[in-house]
A and B are shown apart, each in its own frame.
Chain A
């Protein structure tokens, strides 16, 4: 059963990934990306990481790819890109290097994990309640405790970074007006 789920989800992830690369049309590529994200969510559920799966769908499939599609629609990128035009010359060799590097990392991770002791199979993160009974949504409690106690500084810094990114984008996207740069305050 677990193998079956893994094979189906793996096929979804890989099929989606191949689709993202091979689709001529940006919208189709975005749709393939959704397939990949769903496959990953299924894998999370199979590992009892229910919360991660839900957040994966809500944040990535529900918000980020919607934004991708929104931008594609608004800009009206309806035609396939001409692949022969290369805005940055170094882009392609660099992409090959990065791709090979990531592949190497994944292989290294597999090799390392073969030598490490096998994880004990269980219901995801085991958390016991006050009365010693296992909690069903232990994932969320353990994640929250970890995130908001041990890593609270990193968490807050990330949110500040996001705010800065948003403000920066707004500033960059503003149409420069007459009188903006001549030093006269409004």
Chain B
């Protein structure tokens, strides 16, 4: 249990340290739920302003309590289980979608003091702890593991409904999520390569100045790939083919009602928030402040909370961006989605990873950077040419053969 949290060393049951851990768990749970509630409101409100309408404004000030009202309504609706469904799996699926969404929160550093080479620990009285629930040595891999587990919720929900449209939705979902996971993992690998560690707080620690932020240090491309792949993993527009209303009624959750539907809904918005948090942690320095006009940390008057405020501000930017995506971008067609994933994102992520690795090796051996760069670009161009040639040949073959099925 090394390095999970400094508090956990030599912990005793029912001691103050134990209490602090419990409080942290509760805070993260509550912040997750309330954050999701606000996110639903935020999305509905922003999207309605973008579409020149008012949006929810009746329940509470500016409609803030609308989500709560909807939640209560859903809770009291009748819980229907279709006749042809697989009852056990049907009941299990919403939890499989919901639990991973929550667990991701536990490894994201939500704040802390990383200034001047500090490792992000804070002090509560005489107790040293981190502003994250756990900091396992395999932090980032845990994120990947959870995002791969999240597939099951959608997949099994669609299958167990015993109905055609949800099944189509879930088959689409699993194909999409599995394909984009490769690109997600490969762009993540560049971050790990630059940071030299898998632990999330270590990754934040490595981004101590703006030029060391991984979005700059890895050269923007991995960030863009990660952003697109993450949007596809979340099944958010423009990649929401899983629940394309025009084609699939409601997608994988068509047969769900009442609180089970609410759980899917919650998991989806929760995932949006956590994925924004992951992007901020990996590429934008997490709680690290952004130096503006020579001032290292313009929020330093907030004391120990400045890290958390920085983190929240950065996450908000991405949340807004996701809403913006939804309001502006039309949905991709299924073949476009697969082409983008397999023929562009995965080769590009792989090539960029090799480029960074080559620079790393060159640095170790004292090679000339320019030569390494030119050689890499020549190799990558040759590979890209081969790949495009291969896909042209296969496209011609497909054209000649006609439809396969």
A binding-site residues for B, Cβ under 8 Å? 25, 27-28, 31, 34, 50-51, 53-55, 57-58, 61-63, 66-67, 69-70, 73-74, 123, 136-137, 139-140, 175, 177, 186
Contact = CB atoms under 8 A, between A and B. Distances in A.
Nearest to B146: A57
Contact of A66 (B138, B151, B167): B151
Contact of B401 (A61, A67, A177): A177
Nearest to B145: A57
B contact residues, range: 20 to 34
Interface secondary structure of B, over-half rule: helix
B145 A137 contact: no
Given A58-B144, A140-B198, 16 more contacts: A54-B138, A54-B144, A57-B149, A61-B145, A62-B145, A62-B148, A62-B151, A66-B151, A66-B152, A70-B155, A70-B174, A70-B175, A73-B167, A123-B2, A136-B137, A175-B404
B67 interface: no
B159 A55 contact: no
Contacts of B151: 62, 66
Nearest to B171: A73
B178 A63 contact: yes
B138 A27 contact: no
B170 interface: yes
B3 interface: yes
B137 A69 contact: no
Nearest to B404: A175
26 contacts: A27-B86, A28-B89, A31-B156, A50-B137, A51-B138, A54-B138, A54-B145, A57-B148, A58-B148, A61-B145, A62-B145, A62-B149, A63-B181, A66-B151, A66-B152, A67-B178, A70-B174, A70-B178, A73-B155, A73-B167, A73-B170, A136-B137, A136-B199, A137-B137, A140-B198, A186-B400
Contacts of B170: 73
Contacts of B145: 54, 57-58, 61-62
B136 interface: yes
Contacts, number: 82
Nearest to B88: A28
Contact of B149 (A61, A67, A123, A175): A61
Contacts of A34: 152
A69 B174 contact: yes
A58 B144 CA distance: 7
Contacts of A69: 152, 155-156, 159, 174
A66 B142 contact: no
B163 interface: no
A63 B137 contact: no
Contacts of A54: 138, 141-142, 144-145
B159 A73 contact: yes
B197 interface: yes
A87 B327 CA distance: 55
A81 to B, nearest CB: 17
Contacts of A53: 138
Contacts of B148: 57-58, 61-63, 66
A90 B359 CA distance: 57
Interface string B370-405: 000000000000000000000000000000110010
Nearest to B405: A175
Nearest to A54: B141
A139 B137 contact: yes
A79 to B, nearest CB: 13
A58 B150 CA distance: 11
Contacts of B137: 50, 136-137, 139-140
Contacts of A73: 155, 159, 167, 170-171, 174
B302 to A, nearest CB: 30
B15 to A, nearest CB: 16
A51 B141 contact: yes
Contacts of B159: 27, 69, 73
